[in-house]
Amino acid sequence: MAGKPNKVMALYQKLIPYPFGRVIFSKMVARMAPYFGTIKPLITELRPNYCECFIKKRSAVHNHIKTVHVIAICNGLEMAMGVMAEASIPPHLRWIPKGMSLDYTSKAGSDIRCVAEVKPEDWQEGDLLVPVTAYDKDGVVVVKGHIKLWISLKPART
């Protein structure tokens, strides 16, 4: 991404130097899409075309076997993807999610790190499959797949 950062990236860059800056940024994002607040996410890294979201293992996100529920992980992956997309998409384009395809590859028995990443050249009109991966504290992949976005031109302003 060349040139001036967009509003999302500029806000992140403004807040991260401060104590609790990442927490404040993450809470602001979760307020814009309130369902994200259910996992108490923390955006730990954001740069053009890349985002990491942290989910702490706690009882509110447990399933019946006391591992992190896969739907909580899906929520974290969607947040990572959404923040990455908002911070990265070229200004003449817009996005909307169309679907999600994920494989559950291992039990999620610890805190979870959710990652979404694309290449800069991926931002083209049409379908975009955003690779997403969730890792446990030991770096073991617990969920892997993609979130499908529809990328289109922004309508002309009148």
The predicted-structure confidence for 95-135, as pLDDT tens digits, reads as follows 999 999 999 999 999 999 999 999 999 999 999 999 999 99
Q: What is the percent of the chain where pLDDT is above 90?
A: 88
CATH superfamily, domain 7-153, is Hotdog Thioesterase (3.10.129.10)
* Residue entry with tokens 């509003």: 7
Residue 38 CA to residue 72 CA, distance in Å, equals: 8
This prediction's pTM: 0.93
Beta partners for residue 141, in sequence order: 135
Q: Is 26 helix (H, G, I), strand (E, B) or coil?
A: helix
Is 141 or 32 the better-scoring residue by pLDDT?
A: 141
Strand partners, 130: 147
Domain ranges of the chain: 7-153
